[in-house]
Chains A and B, each alone.
Chain A
Amino acid sequence: MSTVVQSPDQSKVEPQRPWAVKRVVRATNGLRLAVFAVIAAGITLVTPLANADGWALAFLLVNLAWTLATAARLGAKERRDAIVRVVVSSLAFLAFVPWLSIFVSTALKGYKGLYPGYLFNDMRITSYDDELTFGGVGHAVVGSLIMVAIATILTLPLGILSGIYLTEIRGRLTFLVRFIVQSMAGVPSVVAGLFIFATVVQSMGRYSGLAGGVALAVLMLPTVSRTAEEVLKLVPDDLRSAGYALGARQWRTALMVVLPTVRAGLTTAAILGVARVIGETAPLLLTSLNTNGFVWNPIGGTLGSLPTYIFAMFMYGSEYSVARAWSGSIVLLALVLFFFLLARRLGGRNERRTRVGVGKAASTSAGTK
């Protein structure tokens, strides 16, 4: 009796992933790390190790000790594997420590000023050293978003165009364009601010959000166009050839084949640029200054922003105003974090969508006999 199957196996089978790390294993690992974290916290209490950095070091040492202890009863290969793994993940963790300690200390110093109305109020009727339950940072968030939006609208097309010039057209000026973009990345932000002050602010006769946005754009352009170029370079030449072989002209191919392929990457380029400039202070002090109330008009006059808010609060120097500066820093960090997460989300989702699309296309073409 040879195998003959009339129709697909209809019995219900559950998909499995035997190669994935088992949930139990992952749970025990997580639990172990949590226990170690607590032990490390205990160590920081009784030894000279202190603060976030001390805790991180203690945590690492506990982990290393545990690995060495358990590795003793493994085979040579497994032992090497375990030790290399803990060393590599420790180094990764070490890189994470500065981030952690910035975040933790900002959070510790700034949490007092956070209250539900903080994001929606402004400082028009509240003075800088009022109680922390008054006033807020809403106007600064709005101002920052307005200026960053202006900067994005200006730089995204320019950045993508220069990326296309550098990777698709590869004209005679490639070297020059790349050189200029790279040296723009080295322009100090205060110089960019001065330049916009001398051009936009002086010709308009007043400080404005527009000037601030343009100054940010000057700083954002190198990041965006570098990232766009890198992303466009990743498009395989096969795709371009396929476009040309269909009789498409170069610019049609770039527009309809190459750009859509890297949509996710270009989104990332834009958001990396935003994250780069959202905390810039110096150029804004020269172009948009600061306000204490909500301003929605980008050309009407001075415009508040998060960095200048933080700067002004620090300069004021009273206990409550400094606390406000730290709270503003939390909001700024949260905003940057939000943009990074957005970049990951948008990038990831696009990728998944295309993958599913490819699968569908293949199965439909397979269905037509």
Chain B
Amino acid sequence: MMQRTMNMTNSDLETTGRTSDPMSEVTSFRGLETRSVHAWFGKHHALAGVSLRFPERTVTGLIGPSGCGKSTFIRLLNRMHEFIPSAAMAGSVLLNGSDIYDPSEDPAMIRLKVGMVFQKPNPFPAMSIRENVLAGIKLAHLKRDNHDDIVEQCLTRAGLWKEVKDRLDASGGSLSGGQQQRLCIARSLAVEPQVLLMDEPCSALDPGSTLRIEETIKELAEKITVIIVTHNMQQASRVSDFCAFFLTDGGPGYLVEADSTRKMFTNPSDPRTADYVQGKFG
């Protein structure tokens, strides 16, 4: 992935005719970038030195065994990490070149731009399906007037429209687990984030809904950046353009290898990656 992104940025730079000095590269990179990011929970060093680039309009899969820090990493990308009282971090996360941890940044605005879907479905139980989809717009005081269109469009993209179109006023909690998850995806799409983080979004879904979600992810990638954590290797190979493999040796989790998905699954540079994607461990 680094290679690809480097190449991409370099060719961008060449076409714009600028010299490739590192500073101009920084400002010209669009998308999300982390620079030697570390994470701690109290004294526990959970993640060490992860530098990754997520170019605009791509899907990146984060893979790795349980406990290697994928969720921790993804929560660092939209400043959800800081809700854990003992949490600390180091390094920087850049969204389109500006550091999201800069003191002048408003974390609420960051989270509006970098949305998140959680592993466990969490629709708001006191709201109807329709209100759930529109919740982000209401909560963030966004001005939209075509609410009905937004509801239909988001639910369709999340693959839920057909099932719920006749009961939009039912409670969000009255859906099945998989339907709830798709409702949550629809909810996060409604605020039109620039980046969507998904932490094992399909672990509660049936194969049909999973495929529908994967199609949605691919459609989304035409407009936004998607970062998805998954334990399903087929899913990673189906939806992602790039893959990043995390590992822990008992200590902090770290990035082993990041590259284009095809390379990661056919000819990875690190033997541990090869073993992992072939299901030999983890």
Contacts and interface: CB of A to CB of B under 8 A. Distances in A.
SS of A interface (majority): loop
B44 A3 contact: no
Given A13-B38, A359-B41, A2 B259 contact: yes
B65 A366 contact: yes
Given A2-B1, A369-B65, A7 B89 contact: no
Given A2-B269, A3-B51, A11-B49, A366 B256 contact: no
A363 interface: yes
Interface size class of chain B, counting residues whose CB lies under 8 Å from the partner chain? 35 or more
B2 A366 contact: no
A366 B252 CA distance: 12
Contacts of B82: 17, 19
A17 B87 CA distance: 8
B254 A8 contact: yes
A4 B259 CA distance: 9
Interface string B51-87: 1100000000000011110000000000100100011
B263 A2 contact: yes
Contact of B254 (A1, A9, A13, A17): A9
Given A5-B255, A9-B36, A369 B90 contact: no
B3 interface: yes
Contacts of A22: 103
Contacts of A1: 2-3
Contacts of A13: 36, 38, 48-49, 90-91
A8 B51 contact: no
B78 to A, nearest CB: 12
Contacts of A237: none
A92 interface: no
A362 B67 contact: yes
B259 A367 contact: no
Contacts of B102: 18
A274 to B, nearest CB: 28
Interface string A10-30: 010111111100100000000
A356 interface: yes
Contacts of B40: 15
A47 interface: no
A203 interface: no
A369 B270 contact: no
B270 A4 contact: yes
Contacts of A363: 44, 67
Contacts of B87: 17
A183 interface: no
Given A5-B254, A359-B44, A18 B249 contact: no
Interface of B: 1-3, 36, 38, 40-42, 44, 48-49, 51-52, 65-68, 79, 82, 86-91, 101-103, 107, 248-259, 263, 269-270, 281-282
15 contacts: A2-B2, A2-B3, A2-B257, A2-B263, A3-B257, A5-B49, A5-B254, A5-B257, A9-B36, A19-B107, A363-B67, A365-B66, A366-B65, A366-B66, A366-B248
Interface of A: 1-5, 7-9, 11, 13-19, 22, 355-356, 359, 362-363, 365-367, 369
